[in-house]
A and B are shown apart, each in its own frame.
Chain A
Amino acid sequence: MNTVLEQIYATILPSAPFVIAAYALMWCALVVYVIYMTVKLKRTEAQMAVMEESLKKIDAEKNNASDRA
């Protein structure tokens, strides 16, 4: 390549890692947030399951008590 073309394209290769890093970081931030949301959701669902278990137990006890009465 002649020198002018070299000069014209001189900044492209050095800038490529930064451009890739910029887009990758942006995408990573979004993904991290979505992962955080999912983790919280899973934890809430686990607690919901525990709630439902205890509710079932209380219902069973109430039924036993009313059966005996």
Chain B
Amino acid sequence: MAIEIQTPSTWQQYRTLLGKDLRREFRTREMLTSMGMYALLVLVVYGAALSQTSHSFDILQMSGGLLWAVIIFTSLLGLNRSFAHEKENGCLDGLLLVPLDRSVIFLAKATSNFLFMIVVELITVPLFAFFFLSTSPADTWPLIITPLLIGTVGIAGIGTLLSTITVNTRGKDVLLAVLFIPLIFPLLYACVSATTVALVGGDVEAIYMNALLLAGGYDVVMLLLSWVLYDFVVSA
């Protein structure tokens, strides 16, 4: 009599891997708290950096850039931590023993990184507005949600690929920063321009849509490339 072994589908594997990451995070809440504290402390540093500006200084022009700088620095921290766990407990080796398509690991990791980043941004953006945006932004300010989403997707995708590479090297954190920041730069530029134009007002339509198209295109290309290359990277 033949025994039927049911291999789980890709979607089920994805859900299991994602659930593992989310469950671990909700049990310890370690990464979220450290990322949240880090974002808060970067805002404090901003306070010191901007303390000498005159009262007539229009911080609204810089606000998009400052916000995205916080997000980038926090994501560098979070990306490193997410893979450090896997390596310490030998979880990655265990995963590699399972006969699955290794790009599913990439999807699950990228999604969990994306969700953590979104949670941190939900905390950081209101804090940023509270601390620095004393002059109220333009009416189009809800439009910053889309650049935040698109940018975070890109950061999660590229960051997952790069953190898988750098977790196995000497000088892990610094190397991640060295490799990550040039790759994320076009995305950062587009998202900063979209966010700034949404906060400051002015000629919103043209600049906003152009910037989002650029960011979205870059996202798609980088995510596809990371998906395809992830198998080679994680098997090395």
- Check whether chain A touches chain B (CB < 8 angstroms): no
What is B's interface to A at a CB cutoff of 8 Å? Answer: none
